């Protein structure tokens, strides 16, 4: 299914599932609002968890401003917080913008092996809890009222290509 454009696109996926890769293969950098990128803006780097509250405050502000102008907005976070998803979906509804959830349904072993190959791997127990949260979220999405829920496997994500976001 093609994703409408403009649209609000909310990514859902564990670390290493390929969210940022998929986003940068399809969207301009300015269209992607990434919590990791904003941690780098207001903190010491994309992994600076102490900067999370400030990064998410900025993220909410950017999403609200872009969606209010009916600009395509791709929200690149884990996507597993139901209250945040509801807020973004409501903002899109209020603006008359189609809202799509995109789940990166990447097998746990693939996320783990990609994670292990990274410079700053997420601790194994953190990844385990992310994978569980993504599974729970996938079960909730259909009832949340998205215009479409897209579930992608690794074959749907180009492996190479320009990278605009972390
Ligand atoms: P995080 O939540 O940590 O930001 P992410 O979901 O954004 O993770 P990416 O950064 O997009 O994940 O991808 C993780 C790693 O997997 C990267 O090194 C990327 O190049 C690689 N990767 C992503 N998609 C594919 C694919 N389809 N085939 C091969 N490698 C991929
Ligand atoms: Mg990412």
Give residue-wise pLDDT tens across range 16-67.
Answer: 999 999 999 999 999 999 999 999 999 999 999 999 999 999 999 999 999 9
Q: Which of 9, 13, 20, 124 to mutate to test the pocket of ligand 1 (most atoms within 8 A of CB)?
A: 20
Q: Which of 24, 114, 131 to mutate to test the pocket of ligand 1 (most atoms within 8 A of CB)?
A: 114
Phi, psi values for residue 53, rounded to 5°: -60, -45
Specify the ligand 1 atom closest to the Cα of 15.
2
H-assigned helices in 77-164 = 82-95, 108-116, 124-141
Query: Can you state the angle between helices 52-68 and 82-95, rounded to 10 degrees?
Result: 20
Query: If you measure from the C-alpha of residue 20 to the centroid of ligand 2, how many angstroms do you get, rounded to a whole number?
Result: 4
Instruction: Determine whether 144 is exposed, middle or buried from the number of CB atoms within 10 Å of its CB (0-12, 13-18, 19+).
Output: middle
Model confidence over 131-145: pLDDT tens digits?
Answer: 999 999 999 999 999
Q: What is the pTM of this model?
A: 0.95
Q: Around ion ligand 2, which residues have CB less than 5 A away?
A: 19-20
Q: Tell me the ipTM for this assembly.
A: 0.97
Residue 65, SS3?
helix
Give the closest residue to 134 by CA, choosing from 6, 15, 1.
Answer: 15
CA distance 116 to 156: 22
């Amino acid at each position: 299914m093609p994703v409408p454009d403009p649209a609000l696109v909310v990514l859902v996926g564990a670390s290493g599932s390929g969210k940022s890769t998929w986003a940068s293969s399809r969207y301009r950098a300015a269209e992607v609002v990434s919590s990791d990128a904003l941690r780098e803006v207001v903190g010491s780097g994309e992994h600076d968890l102490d900067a999370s509250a400030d990064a998410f405050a900025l993220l909410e502000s950017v999403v609200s401003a872009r969606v209010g102008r009916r600009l395509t907005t791709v929200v690149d976070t884990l996507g597993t917080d139901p209250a945040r998803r509801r807020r973004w979906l409501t903002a899109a509804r209020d603006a008359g913008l189609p809202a799509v959830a995109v789940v990166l349904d990447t097998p746990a072993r693939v996320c783990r092996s990609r994670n292990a190959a990274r410079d700053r791997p997420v601790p194994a127990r953190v990844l385990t809890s992310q994978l569980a949260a993504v599974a729970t979220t996938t079960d909730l999405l259909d009832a949340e009222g998205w215009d479409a829920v897209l579930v992608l496997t690794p074959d749907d994500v180009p492996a190479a290509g320009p990278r605009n976001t972390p």
